[in-house]
Structure 1
Amino acid sequence: MAAERRVGTLVSSAAFAVRLAWLADRRALVHVVLVQVLLAGAMAGGLVLVQGALGSVLAHGPGAAGRSPGLVPAVVVLLVAGGAFGALRLSGAARMAVLTVKVDRLVAGMVLEAAVAAELPRFEEPDFHDRLQRAVFASRRQPAMAVVLLVTAFQAVLTVLAVGGAFVVMAWWLLPLVLVSAVPTVRAAGRERSAHHELHHGLSESRRLREYLERLLTGRGEAREIRALDLGEVLTGRWQAEYAREVRDTEALLTAHARRRMAAQAVGAVLTCLAVGCLWWAAGRRLLPLSVAGAAVAGVWLLSARLNTFAGMLSGIGENLLRLTDLRSFTAPAVARVVTPRQPQDPAAEFGTLSAERLCFGYPGADGPAVREVSLELRPGQVVALVGVNGSGKSTLANLLAGLYPPDSGRLLLGGTAVTDLAAHRERTAVVFQDFTRYRLAALDNIAFGRPHAAADLDRVHEAARQAGALDFLRGLPGGLLTPLGKEFTGGADLSGGQWQRLALARAFYRDAPLVILDEPTAALDAQAEDQLFSQLRQLFAGRTVVLISHRLRSVRQADRIYVLAGGRVVEEGSHGELLRAGAHYATLFRAQADAYQDADFS
């Protein structure tokens, strides 16, 4: 049963590779396959012509070429056909090269689409990252190589069939012996294929760790701290240790299977020699015409070579096709999904009260939930603050409210209706994360990405930049809004941490969504800029529902409602004044921060 499953997997993966080639460039695929069919037919026809030429020479004598009426035409046909099919082979190789490039592009796009389509909780799972790593590995020339190998194998099979057909006419009784000579090599290749695939799966996490270490050692952003801490030698040593493991396991596998393949080829060579010996014996006993025996020897050599080539390719083909199973399983949702143009949400559309009812959520592998039985209410136009110590669940709750994670239990209600389409809910939400992404692209992109499915509106970009206090420094860039934000690019410029944060805020203004979530939106700003932003918060986000997360409690004093979290639960709620009068968690946190400012030494 296991062998049958493996064969079924290989067949389905081969069909998947052919489908990819068909989708990438069907005309090129048809051209390449047709070339292989013609070349295989030419090889069989050439073998028949060789037999005829040998028969003519032997009948009239080597010195009587002029009296051999079939010899000269046969030689001319062979020469002309050789030239023509040489040109045909070059044509097929050129189309094959183009086809592989197109397959590479198609497959890389499929992996990216599947990764983007995965919901955020999947990125918390190690198994997902292993599957992603294997899919990325398989997408790098593997599908194109699979197509090349399948076409080469197809040519080898056609050649075997064509030459075998000619062989049947000449000495059919030798055909089984020649075919059996390839069996040991085929079996050895199958065992090696399975071993390679198991090794590949076992190294997934080690390869992910190596790639991360490579990013640390080569990244521009990480270079400063790595040198400050003198981490280069330590990280390089860990990279070397992880790579040494792969080298060691690969060397052991290849050494063991090389011996098996050499033994298998030796057995195949003995059987081929036995076939040639049988021809020699039959010709010596005049059981076969000498011309037939001579052509049959050429056929044995050609058939044996093709069979051994095909058998030797089986390990590479099988390993390649098994890796395609990783690609196929990971990209299946992207292949099946019908992509339709996304319609941007109307920011002016009615946005009612957003309520959370007993939300619970826990990260995979965590000891307990990060959010426990949280209920709250966000009314249109309100500024609601989430406060608490580190690890209290504020950012996780914000992610749930933004529709980035589906709750394990509980539900979100918008205007009294349960939110079931999280993608549509995210369209109505603008989020500024504490660890926002710094896009090393044009400054224009960094703002216009707020509404990526619509053409960039320059007037809105300028207005968003003005609201975020970014317009002045953007105008001072070498290329204005078209300046790449990274010194590693030609004409690029660097920004300070505060300038990057203003760009993230501009992105939120540009999105113009009815629900705005600000997670530590001023962490990189100075105190004066922070106070200015919070004092203008209601004006800047007028008519919007704003969720604000901040460790600096003086920034949340003007919020309409403050929710205090501890251990993933809401332990207090109310206005700033109400919570101070209650004298509990919030009051303790606020007074601790206030005392720190009062006790500071300004001398």
Structure 2
Amino acid sequence: MAFAIRLVWSADRRSLIQVLSIQVGMAAGLMGVLLLMRSLLGDVLAAGSRSTTLGLAQVGPTMIALVALGSVSGILRIVSSARQRVLAVKVDQHIISTVLRAAAQAELSEFENPHFHNRLQRAVFASRSQPVTVITAMLAAAQAALTIAAVSTAFVMMVWWLLPLAALGALPIFRSARQERQASYDLNHQWAEQRRIRQYLERLLTGRDEAKELRGLGLGDLLRARWATEYSKEIDDMIAMHRRNTRRRILARLSSDAAMIAIMGAMVALAASKLVSVPTAVAALAGLWLLSNRVQMVGGILNGVGESILYLDDLRSFAESPAPGPYPLAAGPFTVLRVAQIKFAYPGSARPVLKNVSITLRSGEITALVGVNGSGKTTLAKILGGLYQPDSGSLWHDNTTVSDLRTLRAGTAMVFQDFVQYRLSAAENIAFGSPGNPVDMDRIVAAAHQAGAHDFIANLPRGYDTLLSSEFTGGSDLSLGQWQRLALARAFYRDAPFVILDEPNASLDPQAEAALLASIRDLFSGRTVLLISHRFSSVRGADKIYVLDDGQVIEEGTHQSLMAADETYARLFRLQSEAYQEVA
């Protein structure tokens, strides 16, 4: 509850104070109505006992006061409703922003952990479905609680001993509400991974990039049937839970109503015995009826808000992870980067990807990593780029142990084979290379020229402002090779001293590939380059080549020395080169 209140307070404290003030005023008005009604009934009964006609002068002020209170209450309700809608929207924005910030700050290794994804899914569920529920329920509960307090105050002034009896009658409602919200939360908690599977199937069935393969293979009906099966499991569990909850709620309602009827009957008997005056009895019965309705309402509200608060606890545990602090905007100097005897395994995997690997990268040099698929090349590059912390061994930058991976990332430009295609403008795709710094259009154009992307960007409908997807109005699609040039332009724009190129020519045509490889040393002059490729012809000009196999460095040297050694590198190089040689 405290976390929910802090969220609302942080989102829009002014609206919250206004709404609560209005509700206090409405509750005070309700108490006034009960007391005025008791006074009016007293006047009516007194006039009846004297066999006189009740004049306007006697009841007029009371009636006017009742109408005035009703009018003010209606106006306050309208104003409160408007402020609550504004408050709900602001809280929705604040909560979703909190989840997105926590997800963006999580280290890459977290995304390899299924438990993290389950926590993230529950936090997203809480952020997407609960804010409006929490705000509406909390404010309704506050209003109902103030109403109960007002009616209880009136009881204290009229028949104080009735209040504890009314409270006993409410206990079954609150007990049932607590059991129901816990059952619902427990069920949703166990659905986290199942929901992720279902949402993944939804993305497959609705995604533009997946559409061609699904239709080519005829997978639509199969995946939809799998989706329906997963959803049916969730529905069956929900039906069973609601059946149990319905039985609890019916029994609780009957118990509470029976208690209220008994109390009302006792009040009527006391009035008949003249132990309680008739005006007091009538006003107390009206208040008791109102109190019973509000208790039922509070039970339902607490059921909703209580369940939502349980979900928000998932949000709190995810969002309140220690913040790593501001991201470094400037890259530090770069002289040498090395790893010594490092080992690394992905979370949840017993098999290490890297085993006792040691390599050194020096300023201004091009270092290449080669090896068969699965040898650990990309994983090693991610460690050198500051995306993963090795499980053991040492990671040194300029003879200093790296303690904050973000400082290493700030000085690194990474172009991975599975680069992201941001379906935003071409200019944004390039400027994302240096987030947090002012966008420099001249540098964007220069980076595009360096990557060979300027010509096709200039021919887009709106040039650098064109959205790069035909899913959007006025947008245009790019080929995979053009996307790869944009990824390279992003690296140039970052202007980092250390550059990682993971298969940078994978999507380029032979002519563009040859031009890029021939110019890498000139394009990245003065920078340290780590080049990863399975094409051995791409790395011939590297200053140092490391050959990886099964997570270990098995050879190192220049192209000439490795060919002279005539081991794995030489064998693989000849296998690839033979495919391009003519057979007599």
TM-score, normalised via structure 2 length: 0.97
SS in 2 for 1:365: coil
State how many pairs are aligned: 583
1:403 corresponds to 2:386: yes
C-alpha separation between the residues in 1 aligned to 2:245 and 2:11? Answer: 35
What residue ranges of structure 1 are gaps of 5+ in the alignment?
A: 1-13
Matches within 5 A, 1:221-232: 221-232=209-220
How far 1:343 sits from its partner (Å)? Answer: 5.4
Question: What per-residue deviation string (whole Å, max 9, x for no partner) do you get for residues 246-282 of structure 1?
Answer: 1100110001110111011011111111111111111
Alignment correspondent of 1:29: 16
Question: What per-residue deviation string (whole Å, max 9, x for no partner) do you get for residues 333-392 of structure 1?
Answer: 3xx64965x55315xx53101111111110012231101111111111111110000110
How far 1:327 sits from its partner (Å)? Answer: 0.4
Alignment correspondent of 2:252: 264
How far 1:121 sits from its partner (Å)? Answer: 0.1
SS in 1 for 2:579: helix
How far 1:598 sits from its partner (Å)? Answer: 2.5
Alignment correspondent of 1:492: 475
1:291 corresponds to 2:270: no
C-alpha separation between the residues in 2 aligned to 1:288 and 1:573? Answer: 101
**Equivalent position to 1:318, from 289, 296, 306:** 306
How far 1:600 sits from its partner (Å)? Answer: 7.3
Contact 2:47–2:54 (8 Å) recurs in 1: no
**Equivalent position to 1:282, from 267, 270, 273:** 270
Question: What per-residue deviation string (whole Å, max 9, x for no partner) do you get for residues 160-217 of structure 1?
Answer: 1211121122222322222111111111111111111110110000111111111111
SS in 1 for 2:338: strand
1:56 corresponds to 2:43: yes
Alignment correspondent of 1:466: 449
Structure 2: which amino acid aligns with 1:369?
P
Contact 1:48–1:166 (8 Å) recurs in 2: yes
C-alpha separation between the residues in 2 aligned to 1:472 and 1:394? Answer: 33
| Larger mean Cα displacement after TM superposition, 264-273 or 285-294 | 285-294
SS in 2 for 1:111: helix
1:238 corresponds to 2:238: no
Question: What per-residue deviation string (whole Å, max 9, x for no partner) do you get for residues 128-174 of structure 1?
Answer: 00000000010014133212212211221221121112112222232
C-alpha separation between the residues in 2 aligned to 1:310 and 1:453? Answer: 47
Contact 1:564–1:572 (8 Å) recurs in 2: yes
C-alpha separation between the residues in 2 aligned to 1:317 and 1:144? Answer: 10
**Equivalent position to 1:46, from 18, 23, 33:** 33
How far 1:64 sits from its partner (Å)? Answer: 5.0
RMSD in angstroms over aligned alpha carbons? 1.5
Alignment correspondent of 1:344: 329
Matches within 5 A, 1:334-483: 337=323, 340=326, 342=327, 344-346=329-331, 350-483=333-466
Alignment correspondent of 1:215: 203
Question: What per-residue deviation string (whole Å, max 9, x for no partner) do you get for residues 419-478 of structure 1?
Answer: 222101101000000000000000001111111111221111111111111111111000
SS in 2 for 1:372: strand
C-alpha separation between the residues in 1 aligned to 2:401 and 2:55? Answer: 96
Matches within 5 A, 1:189-200: 189-200=177-188
SS in 1 for 2:213: helix
C-alpha separation between the residues in 2 aligned to 1:402 and 1:338? Answer: 18
C-alpha separation between the residues in 2 aligned to 1:85 and 1:462? Answer: 62
Structure 1: which amino acid aligns with 2:230?
E
CA 360–64 in structure 1, closer or farther in 2 if over 3 Å, else same: farther
CA 355–136 in structure 1, closer or farther in 2 if over 3 Å, else same: same
C-alpha separation between the residues in 1 aligned to 2:547 and 2:276? Answer: 98
Runs of 4+ off more than 6 Å: none
SS in 2 for 1:61: helix
1:17 corresponds to 2:8: no
How far 1:297 sits from its partner (Å)? Answer: 1.1
Contact 1:60–1:67 (8 Å) recurs in 2: no
C-alpha separation between the residues in 1 aligned to 2:84 and 2:352? Answer: 54
Alignment correspondent of 1:126: 114
Question: What per-residue deviation string (whole Å, max 9, x for no partner) do you get for residues 307-335 of structure 1?
Answer: 111122222121111001000010003xx
Structure 2: which amino acid aligns with 1:521?
P
SS in 2 for 1:598: coil
C-alpha separation between the residues in 2 aligned to 1:107 and 1:339? Answer: 20
Structure 2: which amino acid aligns with 1:465?
A
| Larger mean Cα displacement after TM superposition, 547-556 or 359-368 | 359-368
Matches within 5 A, 1:141-220: 141-220=129-208
Alignment correspondent of 1:71: 59
C-alpha separation between the residues in 1 aligned to 2:454 and 2:415? Answer: 18
1:97 corresponds to 2:85: yes
Structure 1: which amino acid aligns with 2:213?
E
SS in 1 for 2:160: helix
How far 1:68 sits from its partner (Å)? Answer: 7.0
Contact 2:105–2:323 (8 Å) recurs in 1: no
C-alpha separation between the residues in 1 aligned to 2:441 and 2:366? Answer: 29
SS in 2 for 1:412: strand
Contact 1:182–1:307 (8 Å) recurs in 2: yes
Question: What per-residue deviation string (whole Å, max 9, x for no partner) do you get for residues 466-507 of structure 1?
Answer: 111111111100000000000011110010010000000111
Question: What per-residue deviation string (whole Å, max 9, x for no partner) do you get for residues 18-47 of structure 1?
Answer: 111111111111111111111111111110
SS in 2 for 1:182: helix
CA 210–64 in structure 1, closer or farther in 2 if over 3 Å, else same: farther
C-alpha separation between the residues in 1 aligned to 2:234 and 2:204? Answer: 20
TM-score, normalised via structure 1 length: 0.94
1:110 corresponds to 2:105: no
CA 415–439 in structure 1, closer or farther in 2 if over 3 Å, else same: same
C-alpha separation between the residues in 2 aligned to 1:355 and 1:508? Answer: 22
How far 1:560 sits from its partner (Å)? Answer: 0.8
Alignment correspondent of 1:9: none
Contact 1:442–1:485 (8 Å) recurs in 2: yes
Question: What per-residue deviation string (whole Å, max 9, x for no partner) do you get for residues 218-263 of structure 1?
Answer: 1111111111111111111111111111110011000111011101
Contact 2:44–2:54 (8 Å) recurs in 1: no
Structure 2: which amino acid aligns with 1:126?
P
Question: What per-residue deviation string (whole Å, max 9, x for no partner) do you get for residues 75-109 of structure 1?
Answer: 11000111011101111111111011001111111
C-alpha separation between the residues in 2 aligned to 1:265 and 1:316? Answer: 17
Contact 2:40–2:62 (8 Å) recurs in 1: yes
**Equivalent position to 1:520, from 503, 506, 510:** 503
C-alpha separation between the residues in 2 aligned to 1:154 and 1:87? Answer: 18
